[in-house]
A and B are shown apart, each in its own frame.
Chain A
């Protein structure tokens, strides 16, 4: 079933985008059963992740010299959206471990750091975990309490990080810690997992995104050499935020991929599985048409923004608008459509239930919807008089 808006987007693709999409779809067709099965477990799918690596789908936008593919943001969006059509949690894993986490090293790392870590990331042999959130610093990351005290050529880091994606299984942590008294005065450190003083919690039990292991990171007198600083010292939130636009775009792609999966299944279900009496209900037809209309519009924005990223013309507010609309829509679609699948939705492991349970994280992770609204307000100049720019 071809949904509206597909040609609208594919019409703007360059030949390499289509070639990439065909290549990806062949891979996903071959591995969809494994992907569907992996999302139902609560462990990181190592063998599947390795398959993505071997097929060249990690570090997609990294230079070829570092083991990547040198592809653009549109290809990253295609990758994540297509994977999310099968499983949003696997799409989340590919995003965070294979693209956005290590993207910080690509953008801010020294030549040595890049060469040391990024080829391993692309081979699926190194899982990077980006650790910024703390028990008391969620939406407000300027309020960090993890502190890195200078000690000669070393830094001694103490603190706790929470809700850290891949923490229980990561090989490398990118720890944002305060390096001065001034608020927001912070530095990112590359800390390898075996560094004395670094420990991780058991994985947290979550509502959804089960296979993406999340946990806490404890830092007690963790000693790291200054050469492990990522980017400049005291660079503030500029370094950890370097990947925020890309992260939000790819989370939007995940949300829209999941939305497509639900909508497509809902259509198939009401057309094929339900008695005609369901289709005779105008409100059912109208509900689906309305949700698909919104999905087409937001998806068009996704690809427009992906294209703009590569041209360097996108603003933070624009990605915030995308993230707000895409993630809220995904939540709405899962809440509205679940009942259409009838009894199948009772099973916690049904496709539809998994989507319903995964979706709430979209409007929380990588900046809540409320933060996105403030970003838009900021660009509109609404915060200027309050002295917040």
Chain B
């Protein structure tokens, strides 16, 4: 895939599907459940150019757009959300590509897209649940303090992208990119409910001095980066949700066509048909809305401010993923509750979308505020 820019959507999707079907089954899921990171899988995905797909060819990437990234993310989660989350190893790297200086890009980007370096993003929790990420000037340096939850892959990271808020100036954010430091303490959760292949960690930073060379862009430009990171998160979670919905539709449809009760295939019960129809409706609408939106959105520029359309699609996607997983599990009856059947992993992981990216109601409220012109 690498270096070829004329791939059609269907080719990208097919390549991603082939990759996950072939490679995911080689991973030892018991080790993943115990918190082992699948470095080998990440490397293989990188070799095929599936990680950091939007990075320019100059830096070893594929130079594709957000649409292609979404297609791959959907296929990865459709096959297995626990393992598919490995794609998030390149989450946020777009900030470095778009706003980093030449040295930063030259040093970090090729390593990320080849799977030789993982950058973890530390940013304020915008759901305002807990924690903080702050910085303040000290002479010609900056001092960072943070206590931050839901940091993806902090435990495996070689570098950190930190978006911090000024201690004294509210809403003034600045971004730093720096290699792993002893003062960045990471706490991991080993046996996770969801996204088991990656680290979902807690990071605490106490009095970490950084210099201007670690800045991404200029001081005070972090709000733009933050907005891009939030929108990227929404792109990933929407694609993941689409993957869950699509998988649940396939598995549920397959099961009800084979399972007989009361002398009749489950597929012949109208209540079952209604359930399947509900997932189908969600999938169709989501598919059209999301990819239609992405086809009309060509650059990252549009993701530097809150995007009403993306917020609404994302809210619907997360709701639909949860609903589809619950329906598919219910249709499987007792079989849905045992781990030999794949449905349980979609049910577990549907919550990752809420936990990492926030409740859909938050997104709807944010979109409504944009529409109504209301600020906090």
> Chain A residues in contact with chain B, CB under 8 A?
133, 136, 138-140, 143, 162-163, 204-209, 214, 273-275, 277-278, 283, 287, 331, 335, 338-339, 342-343, 345-350, 353, 356-357, 360-361, 363-365, 368-370, 373
Contacts and interface: CB of A to CB of B under 8 A. Distances in A.
Given A278-B128, A287-B361, A338-B355, A346 B194 contact: yes
A287 B354 CA distance: 15
Nearest to B202: A343
The 3 A-B residue pairs with the shortest CB-CB distance in the complex, in nearest-first order: A343-B149, A205-B339, A277-B128
B262 interface: yes
A246 to B, nearest CB: 21
B80 to A, nearest CB: 16
Contacts of B347: 207, 360
Contact of A206 (B129, B262, B337): B337
Among B193, B263, B348, chain A packs the most CB atoms within 10 A around the CB of: B193
A283 B333 contact: no
29 contacts: A133-B334, A139-B261, A143-B261, A143-B262, A205-B338, A206-B339, A207-B336, A208-B337, A214-B338, A275-B129, A278-B128, A278-B129, A283-B361, A342-B129, A342-B130, A343-B150, A343-B200, A343-B202, A345-B355, A346-B189, A347-B193, A350-B193, A356-B193, A357-B348, A360-B329, A360-B347, A364-B334, A364-B336, A365-B334
Contact of B333 (A139, A143, A287): A139
Q: How large is the interface on B (under 10, 10 to 19, 20 to 34, 35 or more residues)?
A: 35 or more
Contacts, number: 114
Contact of A360 (B128, B191, B336, B361): B336
Given A338-B354, A348-B191, A353-B193, A206 B338 contact: yes
A364 B330 contact: yes
Question: Which of A277, A278, A349, A360 gathers most chain B CB within 10 Å?
Answer: A360
Nearest to B339: A205
Contacts of B336: 207, 360, 364
B172 interface: no
A347 B190 CA distance: 8
B260 interface: yes
B262 A140 contact: yes
A133 B338 CA distance: 15
B220 interface: no
A162 B355 CA distance: 35
A363 B330 contact: yes
Contact of A338 (B130, B340, B351): B351
A348 B359 CA distance: 20
Contacts of B359: 339
Nearest to A209: B337
Contacts of B136: none
B348 A207 contact: yes
B334 A339 contact: no
Interface in B288-341: 322, 326, 329-330, 333-334, 336-340
Nearest to B150: A343
Contacts of B128: 275, 277-278
B258 to A, nearest CB: 11
B74 to A, nearest CB: 22
A346 B200 CA distance: 8
A133 to B, nearest CB: 7
Nearest to B187: A343
B2 interface: no
A331 B355 contact: no
A349 B193 CA distance: 8
Contacts of A365: 334
B334 A138 contact: yes
A133 B337 CA distance: 15
Contacts of B150: 343, 346
Contacts of B372: none
A349 B365 CA distance: 32
Given A347-B193, A364-B330, 5 more contacts: A143-B261, A204-B339, A331-B326, A339-B355, A339-B358
B166 interface: no
Given A274-B130, A275-B130, A335-B326, A364 B337 contact: yes
A4 to B, nearest CB: 23
Contacts of A360: 326, 329-330, 336-337, 347
Interface string B231-273: 0000000000000000000000000000011110000010110
A140 B261 contact: yes
B220 to A, nearest CB: 23
B192 interface: yes
Given A342-B130, A360-B329, A347 B189 contact: yes
A136 B335 CA distance: 12
B193 A346 contact: yes
Contact of B192 (A278, A348, A363, A369): A348
Contacts of A273: 130
B268 to A, nearest CB: 13
Interface string B181-198: 000000001011110000
Given A283-B361, A343-B149, A207 B192 contact: no
Nearest to B262: A140
A338 B326 CA distance: 15
Contact of B355 (A139, A283, A342): A342
B344 interface: yes
A283 B365 contact: yes
Given A207-B348, A356-B351, A360-B347, A163 B191 contact: no
A133 B193 CA distance: 29
Contacts of A205: 338-340
B346 to A, nearest CB: 11
Contacts of A339: 351, 354-355, 358-359
A348 B193 contact: yes
A162 B337 CA distance: 13
A370 B130 contact: no
Q: Which residue of A207, A346, A348 has the most chain B CB atoms within 10 A of its CB atom? A: A346
Contacts of A343: 130, 149-150, 200, 202, 355
Interface in B180-230: 189, 191-194, 200, 202
A343 B130 CA distance: 9
A361 B338 CA distance: 10
Contacts of B358: 339
A204 B338 contact: yes
Contacts of B260: 136
Contacts of A287: 361
A370 B275 CA distance: 11
Contacts of A208: 337
Contacts of B271: 370, 373
Nearest to B353: A339
Contacts of A209: 337
Nearest to B128: A277
Given A205-B340, A343-B130, A346-B355, A368 B333 contact: yes
Interface in B131-158: 149-150
